Amino acid sequence: MRLVIMGPPGAGKGTQAARIVDRFSVPHVSTGDIFRKNLKEGTPLGLKAQEYMNKGLLVPDEIVVEIVRDRLVEKDCEKGFLLDGFPRTAAQAVALDGVLKEMGMALDYIINIEVPREVLVERAVGRRVCTACGATYHVKFNRPDRTGTCDACGEELIQREDDKQRTVEKRIAVYLEQTQPLIDYYSGRGLLINIDGAQQIERVWEQIAGVLA
């Protein structure tokens, strides 16, 4: 089973990705993890990527695609994988299709977790994080026993800068703008499976598992 999982910040993509990996015994191929591994090990591709990053430039698609390809040819991906964080654009999707075709593979499904913008904002803006132990709470959905205080260690809870409303709204807007052509591309190929991510976590999982079963 060869899958891609997509979803805006706050959609619960990480939770569902972990469940897919566990249920279907496929590796979770996160481009963020791949990049960090290549940079840490100083691979030729990692060093090439580092040159662009040091200049504050985006890493070109051809390097990103090659790094992903190197990961997909590893033995644990022979029976499938879950791609997370790639592709991000229609151009990358076309390149990925070419790479998979060369490998005699093709994607089975694109799991796209959809959540209304206002729900995403509410989820993020209401999040509170412990300054000491990192435990997370929510002012509406997961309140601490004492407002502003961590249940686990008694330290202060804060709202991260990334969770301020203006920042959240901008991040979501950028995601939606960038990924719409990608969604259109996969929809046109009949691979896109839209999942209602505004539901309870278990219900979201039931929908995903029902498609993949």
Of 13, 71, 123, 128, the catalytic one is: 13
- Please identify which residue in the block is written with the tokens 């390809």: 69
CA atoms within 13 A on the CB side of 150: 17
28: β partners: 82
88 is catalytic: yes
Contacts of 36 (CB under 8 A, 6+ apart): none
Residue 173 pLDDT: 92
pLDDT, residue 49, reads 86
Overall average pLDDT of the 3-15 stretch? 93
pLDDT value, residue 124: 93
pLDDT at 57 over 90: no
The answer to whether residue 38 scores a pLDDT higher than 90 is no
CA distances from 126 to 8, 114, 119 (A): 17, 19, 11
Residues 119 and 96: their CA atoms lie apart, in Å, by 32
- Which pLDDT value is given to residue 100? 95
The arithmetic mean of pLDDT across residues 160-179, rounded, is: 91
Can 69 be counted among the known catalytic residues? no
Is 2 one of the catalytic residues?
no
Domains of the chain: 2-212 (3.40.50.300)
- Output the pLDDT for position 9: 87
Catalytic residue among 19, 48, 69, 88: 88
pLDDT tens-digit series, residues 112-158: 999 999 999 999 999 999 999 999 999 999 999 999 999 999 999 99
- pLDDT at residue 50 above 90? no
Catalytic residue among 140, 160, 164, 203: 160
Q: For 61-94, what is each residue's pLDDT tens digit?
A: 888 899 999 999 999 999 999 999 899 889 999 9
| Distance of alpha carbon 144 from alpha carbon 152, whole angstroms | 9
Mean pLDDT of 22-26: 95
> Would you state the pLDDT for residue 8?
92
pLDDT for position 35 = 84
Determine how many CB atoms are found less than 10 A away from the CB of residue 50: 15
Question: How much is the pLDDT for 54?
Answer: 85
| pLDDT of 36 | 86
